[in-house]
Amino acid sequence: MVSSAAEEVKSELRGIEGGSITLPVPVLEFGFLSLERTIIAVVKEKKCDILEEIYEDRLFWNNRTGLFTLRGLQRSDSGVYFIDSKKGAVFLTSHRLTVYEPVAAPAVNAVNTVNVSAESCTLLCLVKKAGETTLLWYKDEDILNQSSSALSLPLTVHRQDLTSSYRCVAANPAENKTLHVDVTALCDSNTQSWLFLTPVLVFGSAVAVCIFYTNMKRERKRERETVTAAPH
């Protein structure tokens, strides 16, 4: 079945584990579908026979359009599929399918929230698993930062840029998931926490110093009284 005419892959297909993919070329009358060199389905007289057991409940042929659809995708489904039409429109084409893990939804936390002048905050975009995932930070339509196969990606936002639109995107070649980030809410809440915490820390430190010196004075007073009261 497989000849030099099909050595050049006609299309690159991408799918997600558990999802489905429809091969783009039909077999309308008589032909075959194979994975690499293994025939997995035969179309004849408006019927499709599935030859490989692992495809029996997952591979479907539409007798109206002639298209094959593979459901419940698994990583092992990756490979080159050959569509060989022997009657009517006669051709042999090949299509490479790559099945990816689903992209994990990103989350965003505020870290290193503000500096002393409260002029910026750092946001961290995170995913639970990296795999083949690329993380990207967007400001409006511009990519500010990106990293492949990383669990987290930081972004420093300056106060003058808080009104811009920010989003974190987790993506692989088959899909992407986007989280729109309310930077103003994240950064302002942490700035307020910092501004509230600073006087509290200063006041607490002052109280601690006062208590320390008061205790020192009391201890010295006790020592002097003990010395005075001692018999000569």
Q: Nearest to residue 36, comparing CAs of 2, 10, 8?
A: 2
pLDDT of res. 200: 35
- Report the amino acid identity of residue 36: E
Domains of the chain: 4-100 (2.60.40.10), 107-188 (2.60.40.10)
* CA 227 – CA 232 distance, rounded (Å): 10
Q: How many other C-beta atoms lie within 10 A of the C-beta of residue 105? A: 11
Does the pTM surpass 0.85? The reply is no
User: How do strand 11-16 and strand 91-100 relate by DSSP bridges?
Assistant: parallel
* CA 187 – CA 21 distance, rounded (Å): 42
pLDDT of res. 212: 46
Q: Nearest to residue 15, comparing CAs of 143, 144, 173, 130?
A: 173
pLDDT of res. 114: 41
User: In this structure, are residues 110 and 181 in contact, taking their beta carbons and an 8 Å threshold?
Assistant: no
pLDDT of res. 6: 52
Which residue ranges of the chain lie beneath pLDDT 50? 1, 3-5, 113-117, 191-209, 211-213, 227, 232
Q: Model confidence over 139-165: pLDDT tens digits?
A: 999 999 999 888 999 999 888 888 889
User: In this structure, are residues 115 and 156 in contact, taking their beta carbons and an 8 Å threshold?
Assistant: no
